[in-house]
């Protein structure tokens, strides 16, 4: 940042780290009544914990077969239960506003149950009615005769039913049975999803915090993760990202470490972690240790009080906050886990003395809020309700196999927003680049124009990545955008590729339309989980309910002597994950039109620019235009053979085609698909049916390349038209070499392409 001077300073001294409070919150109900909790709220906390316990115990019964809700029923899927951890879920969610966000874990039934319960409690009558009508499809036409409490009770029943139905893989489940136990989301309640990847949600939650910060919507995100996640790299990247001082004191995110002592069987204390408390990690990210504190996760009021303080801090703009709650899971990692192989009976018995429900029942009865008989009756009614819900969920609808592809992509865009979101303030007036006498501009200028126009059109579009601000990107493809839109919409990030992608997903799910840049496609391997398990799968996994308007820009290189880790052509990597669209434009005209379309998509688009194309010129109209994804183009008409390629490799293909026509009289038709996913199969097949022969050229090694996929399509759909085998021209099966002679040999050039075609036509 040019407005901050980093000057040399080498004074002797020491660094002081603030104290982290440990178990300082009061746990007694008598202390908290009329301070942090009312009588009604306290009873609500008990009900929430009882719902969680009863739900989880029902899973145990179903798995063991001691309760059979329907003849022939068999429970399948994951069984990661949170029995013993109910106080963390109830205490945390009760301290949030109903429109705040949470993210959850594979052990997240309790989080989901609580988020829905408290959302329902906060709904006005009209919203309750809408929830009931939208949620089941079998609600009485007249709900007006019901009292407010009857509506709430009915909504709670529906919420628990939809949660159970999701675990059973039913169409009525919150995610239409696509996600199941480990991937449950409830978007009407601000539940952004549970995550089966340990730590996978940390960057998503951080992105939601970024969204709230930039949109100034006042929302908080509670990121609930287990102790195992704290040792994952994405945890460290996400917390560092959330603490960036360029936005003040950080993002409104509360990281809740639900420390149940074991990451499956690996014990945190004394085995895999070298600190006494996981919250000590907060000292690495800002000068106040992320307001870290350690509290009892077995005392629901201690949890609630700590979260209330963290929420207040975050809403003041002084987040993020880090809370560690010491708790214990009474069951194994899953129901197939032989938990006593890694812990002792003595340890378990000691923790059972601190059962969070038993502790709070004593507080409730001691303070006269309910009698023991009333509590017993409540527990019985909850258990009976859960049995009824299990029976109904078991009888719910199995998804129709014909709908298996539903929910993968949104069919909406931001194309019709009009002026509702138009940018009204500019730091500097946006201007298009000057065209030459033929109406041409550089490819990189076309990228900048596309981003500038879309950021002007829609103030929700933000651009971030490594070095995209003052420097303008490593290839000068974002120069000037910071000057126009300012640092809240164009900003640098840490060198944290996973965090860049994961936060962009969270931001896209919560109101922004991010364009995230990864400098080289080689670095996308750093983002493997966030790209493949999170961005690509989130929409489908959560029943098609999320909208993810996200563009990931990156570059392909080669030919510069950058060797094996900066020169790869990895377009097949994103293309293999259903849920991502993949674009690889070869001209300045295409890069502008396709990038504008990508920004307007309500789907994640992986957008590949080639470094050698940035200085190529093409005619680019000054008038508004877009290019649809999935529509290729014929770059050269021909009759003897079809040549299919994309991005910078098209230049070598065109040179080879010209040479073949001039020297051999061979007429080559060149197809540029422009987008790899969706692929314009019809255009390719039509050309091959005309010529009877096909060659596919890629810059990547052939084994596992996208070229092999194109060949498969041709073999399946145009086999009867082929006069011979389809040929693939690719790099060698080696990492990109640095030596100029080796690199030139490795990348398919006009000579090798022309030679392959000549051999086919002999």
| One domain for residues 615 and 642 | no
**Which among 553, 584, 619 is the end of a domain?**
619
3-state secondary structure of 720: helix
pLDDT number for residue 402: 97
Q: How far is CA 310 from CA 25, 216, 282, 313, 349, in A?
A: 13, 18, 14, 5, 32
Tell me the backbone φ, ψ of residue 720, rounded to 5 degrees: -65, -20
Q: Which are the contacts of 255, defined by CB distance < 8 A and separation ≥ 6?
A: 202, 205, 223, 225, 239, 290, 320, 321, 322, 323
- 721: exposed, middle or buried (C-beta count within 10 Å: 0-12, 13-18, 19+)? middle
Q: Residue 476, CB half-sphere, CA atoms under 13 Å: how many?
A: 8
Pairing of strands 727-731, 694-701: parallel
Tell me the backbone φ, ψ of residue 664, rounded to 5 degrees: -125, -5
The residue to which tokens 């989980």 are assigned:
529
Q: How far is CA 186 from CA 166, 529, 539, 688, in A?
A: 11, 22, 12, 47
Cis omega (within 30 of 0) on the bond before 320?
Answer: yes
Give a yes or no: residue 538 inside a domain.
Answer: yes
**Which among 572, 596, 619 is the end of a domain?**
619
The domain that holds 80 is classified in CATH as 3.40.50.970
| One domain for residues 172 and 234 | yes
The domain that holds 654 is classified in CATH as 3.40.50.920
Point out the catalytic residue in the list 109, 445, 566, 610.
566
**Which among 619, 648, 673 is the end of a domain?**
619
Distance CA 473, CA 143 (A): 57
Q: How far is CA 380 from CA 365, 373, 374, 548, in A?
A: 17, 11, 10, 42
Range of the domain at 479: 440-619
Give a yes or no: residue 8 inside a domain.
Answer: no
| One domain for residues 187 and 333 | yes
pLDDT number for residue 141: 59
Give a yes or no: residue 27 inside a domain.
Answer: no
| One domain for residues 59 and 169 | yes
Distance CA 679, CA 322 (A): 45
Summarised one tens digit per residue, pLDDT across range 174-196 is 999 999 999 999 988 999 999 99
Total structural domains within the chain: 3
| One domain for residues 544 and 589 | yes
Pairing of strands 675-677, 694-701: unpaired
299 is catalytic: no
Contact call for residues 48 and 92 (beta carbons, < 8 A): no
How many Cβ atoms are within 10 Å of 701's Cβ, its own excluded? 19
Collect the ranges in the chain with pLDDT lower than 70.
135-141
| One domain for residues 63 and 92 | yes
| One domain for residues 139 and 219 | yes
| One domain for residues 588 and 695 | no
Give a yes or no: residue 298 inside a domain.
Answer: yes
Give a yes or no: residue 627 inside a domain.
Answer: no
Contact call for residues 526 and 228 (beta carbons, < 8 A): no
pLDDT number for residue 336: 86
Distance CA 401, CA 409 (A): 17
Give a yes or no: residue 213 inside a domain.
Answer: yes
| The two three-digit tokens of residue 63, written as one number | 């798995």
| One domain for residues 122 and 73 | yes
- Dihedral angle sign, alpha carbons of residues 105, 109, 114, 119: positive
| One domain for residues 381 and 475 | no
633 has which bridge partners? 672
Give a yes or no: residue 26 inside a domain.
Answer: no
In eight-state DSSP terms, residue 191 is B
Give a yes or no: residue 702 inside a domain.
Answer: yes
Q: Is 757 left (phi over 0), alpha (psi -120 to 50) or beta?
A: alpha
| One domain for residues 537 and 510 | yes
| One domain for residues 285 and 136 | yes
Distance CA 441, CA 753 (A): 29
Contact call for residues 298 and 304 (beta carbons, < 8 A): no
Q: Which of 303, 262, 265 is nearest to 89 (CA)?
A: 303
DSSP string, 30-89: HHHBTTTB-HHHHHHHHHHHHHHHHHHHHHHHHHHTSS-SSTT----S-----TT-HHHH
| The two three-digit tokens of residue 46, written as one number | 């008990």
Distance CA 62, CA 68 (A): 6
């Amino acid at each position: 940042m040019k407005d901050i001077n980093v000057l040399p300073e080498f004074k002797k001294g020491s660094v002081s780290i603030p104290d982290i409070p440990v178990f300082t919150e009061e746990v007694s109900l008598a202390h908290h009544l009329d301070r942090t909790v009312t009588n009604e709220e306290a009873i609500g906390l008990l009900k929430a914990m009882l719902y969680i316990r009863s739900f989880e115990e029902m899973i145990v019964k179903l798995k063991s077969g001691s309760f059979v809700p329907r003849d022939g029923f068999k429970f399948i899927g994951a069984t990661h239960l949170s029995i013993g951890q109910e106080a963390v879920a109830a205490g945390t969610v009760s301290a949030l506003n109903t429109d705040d966000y949470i993210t959850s874990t594979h052990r997240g039934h309790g989080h989901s149950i609580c988020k829905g319960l408290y959302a329902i409690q906060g709904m006005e009558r009209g919203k309750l009615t809408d929830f009931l009508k939208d949620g089941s499809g079998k609600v009485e036409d007249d709900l007006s005769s019901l009292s407010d409490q009857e509506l709430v009770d009915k909504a709670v029943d529906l919420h628990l039913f939809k949660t159970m139905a999701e675990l059973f893989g039913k169409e009525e489940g919150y995610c239409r049975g696509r996600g199941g136990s480990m991937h449950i989301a409830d978007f009407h309640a601000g539940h952004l999803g549970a995550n089966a990847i340990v730590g996978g949600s940390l960057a998503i939650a951080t992105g939601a915090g970024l969204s709230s910060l930039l949109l100034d919507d006042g929302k908080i995100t509670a990121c609930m993760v287990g102790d195992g996640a704290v040792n994952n790299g994405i945890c460290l990247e996400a917390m560092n990202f959330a603490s960036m001082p360029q936005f003040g004191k950080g993002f409104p995110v509360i990281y809740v470490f639900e420390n149940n002592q074991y990451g499956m069987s690996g014990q945190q204390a004394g085995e895999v972690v070298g600190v006494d408390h996981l919250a000590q990690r907060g000292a690495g990210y800002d000068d106040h240790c992320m307001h870290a504190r350690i509290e009892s996760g077995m005392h629901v009021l201690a949890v609630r009080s700590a979260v209330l303080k963290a929420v207040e801090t975050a809403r003041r703009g002084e987040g993020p906050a880090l809370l560690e709650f010491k708790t214990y899971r009474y069951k194994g990692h899953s129901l197939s886990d032989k938990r006593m192989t890694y812990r002792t009976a003595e340890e378990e018995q000691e923790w059972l003395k601190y059962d969070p429900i038993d502790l709070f029942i004593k507080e409730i009865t001691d303070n006269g809020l309910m009698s023991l008989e009333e509590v017993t009756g409540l527990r019985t009614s909850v258990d009976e309700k859960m049995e009824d819900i299990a029976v109904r969920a078991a009888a719910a609808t199995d998804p129709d196999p014909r709908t298996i592809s539903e929910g993968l992509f949104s069919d909406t865009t931001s194309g019709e927003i009009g002026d509702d979101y138009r940018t009204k303030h500019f730091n500097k007036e946006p201007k298009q680049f000057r065209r030459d006498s033929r109406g041409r501009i550089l490819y990189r200028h076309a990228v900048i124009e596309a981003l500038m126009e879309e950021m002007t059109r829609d103030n929700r579009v933000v651009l971030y990545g490594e070095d995209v601000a003052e420097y303008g990107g490593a290839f000068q493809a974002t120069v000037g955008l910071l000057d126009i839109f300012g640092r809240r919409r164009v900003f640098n990030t840490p060198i944290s590729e996973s965090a860049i992608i994961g936060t962009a997903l969270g931001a896209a799910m919560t109101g922004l339309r991010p364009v995230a840049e990864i400098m080289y496609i080689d670095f996308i391997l750093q983002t493997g989980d966030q790209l493949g398990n999170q961005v690509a799968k989130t929409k489908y996994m959560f029943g098609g309910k999320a909208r993810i308007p996200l563009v990931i820009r990156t570059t392909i290189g080669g030919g510069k002597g950058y060797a094996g880790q900066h020169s790869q052509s990895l377009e097949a990597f994103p293309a293999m994950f259903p849920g991502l669209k993949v674009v690889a434009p070869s001209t300045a005209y295409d890069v502008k039109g396709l990038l504008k379309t990508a920004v307007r998509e309500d789907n994640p688009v992986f957008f590949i620019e080639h470094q050698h194309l940035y200085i190529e010129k093409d005619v680019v109209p000054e008038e508004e235009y877009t290019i649809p994804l999935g529509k290729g183009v014929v770059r050269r008409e021909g009759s003897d053979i079809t040549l299919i390629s994309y991005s910078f490799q098209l230049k070598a293909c065109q040179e080879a085609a010209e040479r073949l026509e001039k020297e051999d009289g061979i007429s080559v038709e060149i197809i540029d698909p422009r987008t790899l996913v969706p692929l314009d199969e019809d255009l390719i097949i039509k050309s091959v049916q005309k010529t009877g022969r096909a060659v596919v050229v890629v810059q990547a090694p052939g084994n596992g390349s996208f070229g092999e996929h194109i060949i498969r399509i041709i073999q399946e759909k145009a086999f009867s038209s082929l006069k011979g085998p389809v040929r693939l021209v690719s790099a060698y099966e080696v990492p990109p070499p640095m030596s100029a002679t080796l690199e030139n040999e490795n990348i398919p050039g006009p000579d090798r392409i022309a030679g392959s075609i000549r051999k086919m036509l002999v």
